Amino acid sequence: MKILITGANGYIAKNIIKLLREKKYQIQTINRKNSNKIYRKLIKKKFKPQIILHAAGSGLLGNNRFNKNDYYKKNLLSTMHLINFIKKTKLINSKIIFFSSQAVYAKKNNYKIHEEDKVFPSSYYGKFKLLSEKELLKIKKNQIIILRIFSIYGIGLKKQIIWDACKKINYRKTQFLGNGKQIRDFLNIKDFLSLIFKIINDKKVTSNQIYNVGSGKGMRIDKIINKIKKYFLYKDKIIFIKNQHISESRNFISLNKKIKRHYNWKPKRKFNKELNLYLRWFKKNYFNKSL
C-alpha cells in the first residue's frame, strides 16, 4: 500500500510515520520546505497513493507570531498544492484523510460538539481549516475523510497548554492567559494512532465523511496547570490574566460517537496517567534547563 503524508515535520505526522514504517508500509513524505519539489517529482513519476494523510498546516492557534498570510500559506495553500497533485496525477479510488480542527466550530459552552453543529471559526487558523475542508470535498472519484481533531497531547509534544505550563513553571513564571476555566478535550497521541491505523486499513467504501476526533471528555485548564504545579512542587500562586483573544466561556468537548461506531474504536488512555508520563519526560529532558 502506497501512502503519502504531508506535514511530515509535525508532531502528529512524525508519530504516524514512525508507526507505519514499523508496519512496513511504503511511505512518501512531504514537508512545507520541499513540497513543490517533491510534488513535481511525484507527478513526473505518476505516483498514485492509495492513502493520503494530509497533516500539513500550522496548529499554533492564537500564536501572535502568525498573521493571516502565515495561516493561509501553512494551511489553505498547502491544501491547494495537494489538490493540484491529485488533479495532475488523475488520482481515483484513493482515501484522502484531512486533519482538520475543532477550531472550525462556533462557540460552545455547556454541551458536546456534534458534527452537525454550526461551523463559525473565530480564528484565521480555523477559517483556513474550514476552507481547506470545503476545497477537498469538491474532489471527485476519491473518498474524503475529514477529521476534526480536538487537543492531541503526548510525550514529545512541544507546544500547547501542557508544554507551555511546564515551561513557565520551569522558569518560575506564574501568569497564564484566560481565566483557567476553559474546558478542552484531550486525546492521547497513542489513541489517535490506533484510530489512524484503523482508518487506513478499513476496506469499506463509503461516501465522504466528517468526524469529530477527541476523547469525549473535558478537562479544565486551571486543574491541569495545578496538577503540573503539584508535580514539580511549585509553591507560588498561579495567576490568570484576561485576554481579548481568549474566550472565557469557550469550551470544546467532542461528541465522538460517530467515529467510535464507524471504526469500532474508543480511546483507552487515562489522562492523569499519561500526563504523569509526560511530566516525567519533561523533567528528565528539560526541567531546570534552558529551553
Long-range Cβ contact pairs of 34-41 (< 8 A, separation 24 or more): 35/6, 35/78, 35/81, 36/81, 39/81, 39/84, 39/85
Q: Per-residue pLDDT tens, the chain, 291 aa: give them.
A: 999 999 999 999 999 999 999 999 999 999 988 899 999 999 999 999 999 999 998 655 544 445 667 666 677 899 999 999 999 999 999 999 999 999 999 877 668 999 999 999 988 889 999 999 999 999 999 999 999 999 999 999 999 999 999 999 999 988 998 889 989 999 999 999 999 999 999 998 789 999 999 999 999 999 999 999 999 999 999 999 886 555 555 688 999 999 999 999 999 999 999 999 999 999 999 887 766
**What are the chain's domains?**
2-154+186-217+249-269 (3.40.50.720)
Count of C-beta atoms within a 10 Å radius of residue 123: 16
CA distance 30 to 69: 21
pTM of the model: 0.93
Sign of CA dihedral 272, 273, 274, 275: positive
Task: Show the cell assigned to 208.
Answer: 465522504
Between CA 148 and CA 281 the distance in angstroms is 28
